[in-house]
Structure 1
Amino acid sequence: MKISIIGGSGFVGTKLIERLQDESAYELLNIDKAPSTPYPQISQIGNVLDKDLLSKQLSGTDLVILLAAEHRDDVSPISAYYDVNVQGMRNTLEAMESNHITRIIFTSSVAVYGLDKDNPDESFPADPFNHYGKSKWEAEQVLQEWYKSHEDWNINIVRPTVIFGEGNRGNVFNLLNQIASGKFMMIGNGKNQKSMSYIGNIVAFLKFLIEDRTSGYQVFNYVDKPDFTTNDLVYHTGEILGKSIPTTHIPYWLGMMGGYGFDVLAFISRKKLSISSVRVKKFCAVTKYDSKKAMNSGFIPPFSMEEGLRRMLKAEFGK
């Protein structure tokens, strides 16, 4: 089976290639606008916005895994979310059709549900609050419409929550780094639950879909359980690193005021800052999601949440 991973030079794609490369049943191709340092021999420079080139690159492919996305909080211009995430989906589907490819796995996001929802499952109505979530939901709608006239296709959509793991430099790393350094400041009471996904389990689930969900149209939330609160993360980080971690609590309203202040500073300076009102809001929100469908599918996560956290902390902080 030839698998083309679009957007495979990033964190998830690199770990997925690492997971699949030793399988003799798979021939892998990574298509990305950025080069892949670990896997240059199977990578080609491409872009979901260049449909003609993409069509040529997908020749001979049996299955497409679409990871490419604009996902940061501070993408500018805003239209880039919709160009890459929505038009990129249309271009990918048309390039697939021209090559008679009928299987796709698409990584969407739990951002389609919005914030502070009551443990939504896959049937929960979409209510995204930011352009990333809105563009991911629009991309899913493109897939829904496509399937109406392509019922012989196999479409699997995965909505992962925030992903963490060794080598990731995203929001979870930044949070754990602040906790581990003792420079962490808790905004709010810390009792808000945070659904998370360990990278080793995410790529194992993608492999499960490749091998076990080969027909039909399916949507899966992906969340590793249990859901830690922010207080839990502080506790487990201190326990794993063997240190007492003091935390300073400040009220939510004061944290939001500070976030708005950084928004103004970022606008004036034209620089991307690590603190913003959106990030404060996301930090304090309850982001808890239902993953019964994925966990009842026959898939067994190879790592517990605690083990995933331990592996990341040991790799990143040398303890």
Structure 2
Amino acid sequence: MNLPKVWVTGASGFVGEALVLCLLVRKKFAPVAAVRGATRLQGLCPVARFESGTCEATQLAGVQVVVHAAARVHVMSETAGDALGEFRRVNVEGTMQLARMAAQAGVKRFVYISSIKVNGERTDPGQPFTADDTAAPQDPYGISKHEAEQALRQLGEQTGMQVVIIRPPLVYGPGVKANFLSLLQWLEKGFVLPLGGIRNQRSMVAIGNLVDLIETCLDHPAAAGQTFLVSDGDDLSTPRLLKRLASALGVKARLLPVPAALLLLGGALVGRRGVAQRVCESLQVDISKNRELLGWVPPIDVDTAMRRTANHFLEKQKT
């Protein structure tokens, strides 16, 4: 049986690799891992070379869906002199080079992994972002993602290629890096964290939930032309997150109730305003559209996802 072929860019990254592995296990689609270098997927599925939006037209022959997860990602300490220009070069120009080639090759659907930063940086408690809100990106990364979304929609209207956009918030799971990995390390070592006084609400998404939604969007008729937000459907305050993560690690979270205002001030003084804002402020998303249009609800609960993340972290600590 010939399964629908799905071309996944960024397949050596956190999201792309997880998606390819999921598709291989479920055997509903035939993934092609599009990567720019070495990949652990070699030997498990076909591998195509891909970098900065460039590929050979023949590589997309017979492909039904492209999932574009490759990007120049957001970083806390930007070093590029023209950050917006660099983000645009990869996230807008590179995306559109690939999308135009996909349309010319007859690809039916283009699934773009965007970012919640297109919506904005924060929400008031109880007033989550929705997929149909007016975009309000505030940094170069978010702006580049928004511009790519706009260009993709226009291309879809011109060519008939179906465009689906997914905007995740923070993604976590086994093998997670960056700030979430730092939290795991601090909790496991028993550090006292000055985060017990924060009263925010944050949406996150486990990698298993994100790839499940992506797979749903590969062929669901109602997904065509739509934008979706995604989360675990269980928003957490920073202290609640730390306590549940510590429980998954088998340790106790040691939290000091420092007022959020002081943390925000301290973050600004030491040049870590963005980190302080993510820790202290709310960012919630409404995923009711996913249920209403796609019949999709997150299949993995937060405690299970955190336990899997913690177990993987602890196993890595042993090696």
TM norm structure 1: 0.87
**C-alpha deviation, 1:251, in angstroms:** 4.0
Q: Which residue of 1 aligns with 2:87?
A: 81
Map 1:81-120 to 2 at 5 A.
Answer: 81-117=87-123, 118-120=127-129
Q: Which residue of 1 aligns with 2:176?
A: 168
Identify if the C-alpha distance between structure 1 residues 104 and 245 changes in structure 2 by more than 3 Å, giving closer, same or farther: same
Map 1:1-319 to 2 at 5 A.
Answer: 1-39=4-42, 42-50=46-54, 53-73=55-75, 74-77=77-80, 78=83, 79-117=85-123, 118-150=127-159, 152-187=160-195, 189-213=197-221, 216-263=224-271, 276-296=272-292, 297-318=294-315
2:250 and 2:99 mapped to 1: Cα distance? Answer: 50
Identify if the C-alpha distance between structure 1 residues 108 and 5 changes in structure 2 by more than 3 Å, giving closer, same or farther: same
2:247 and 2:46 mapped to 1: Cα distance? Answer: 41
Which residue identity lines up with residue 74 of structure 2 in the other structure? R
**C-alpha deviation, 1:138, in angstroms:** 0.8
Which residue identity lines up with residue 89 of structure 2 in the other structure? D
SS in 1 for 2:131: coil
Aligned partners of 2:290 and 2:297 also within 8 Å: no
| Larger relative strand fraction | 1
Aligned partners of 2:10 and 2:16 also within 8 Å: yes
2:189 and 2:107 mapped to 1: Cα distance? Answer: 49
1:108 and 1:14 mapped to 2: Cα distance? Answer: 16
Cα shift readout 1:132-157 (whole Å, capped 9, x = no counterpart)? 1111111111112223323x322211
2:226 and 2:142 mapped to 1: Cα distance? Answer: 19
SS in 2 for 1:63: strand
Identify if the C-alpha distance between structure 1 residues 241 and 48 changes in structure 2 by more than 3 Å, giving closer, same or farther: closer
Cα shift readout 1:232-258 (whole Å, capped 9, x = no counterpart)? 112212333333322134444543454
Structure 2: state its 5+ residue gaps: none
**C-alpha deviation, 1:173, in angstroms:** 2.4
**C-alpha deviation, 1:219, in angstroms:** 0.8
Structure 1: state its 5+ residue gaps: 264-275
1:93 and 1:225 mapped to 2: Cα distance? Answer: 31
Q: Kindly report the root-mean-square deviation, in angstroms, between the aligned alpha carbons of the 2 structures.
A: 2.3
Cα shift readout 1:208-235 (whole Å, capped 9, x = no counterpart)? 1123237631111001121011111122
Identify if the C-alpha distance between structure 1 residues 237 and 214 changes in structure 2 by more than 3 Å, giving closer, same or farther: closer
Q: How many residue pairs end up in the alignment? A: 304
Q: Which residue of 2 aligns with 1:272?
A: none
Aligned partners of 1:240 and 1:310 also within 8 Å: yes
Identify if the C-alpha distance between structure 1 residues 200 and 184 changes in structure 2 by more than 3 Å, giving closer, same or farther: farther
Cα shift readout 1:80-137 (whole Å, capped 9, x = no counterpart)? 2111111112101211122122311111111111122230111111111211111111
2:36 and 2:227 mapped to 1: Cα distance? Answer: 27
Which residue identity lines up with residue 121 of structure 1 in the other structure? T
SS in 2 for 1:84: helix
Which residue identity lines up with residue 9 of structure 1 in the other structure? S
Which residue identity lines up with residue 141 of structure 1 in the other structure? Q
2:9 and 2:218 mapped to 1: Cα distance? Answer: 15
Cα shift readout 1:140-179 (whole Å, capped 9, x = no counterpart)? 11112223323x3222111111111011113222223323
1:47 and 1:101 mapped to 2: Cα distance? Answer: 19
2:279 and 2:56 mapped to 1: Cα distance? Answer: 37
Identify if the C-alpha distance between structure 1 residues 215 and 247 changes in structure 2 by more than 3 Å, giving closer, same or farther: closer
SS in 1 for 2:34: strand
Identify if the C-alpha distance between structure 1 residues 301 and 257 changes in structure 2 by more than 3 Å, giving closer, same or farther: closer
Aligned partners of 1:47 and 1:54 also within 8 Å: no
SS in 1 for 2:275: helix
Which residue identity lines up with residue 104 of structure 2 in the other structure? S
Aligned partners of 1:105 and 1:158 also within 8 Å: yes
1:216 and 1:251 mapped to 2: Cα distance? Answer: 45
**C-alpha deviation, 1:182, in angstroms:** 2.1
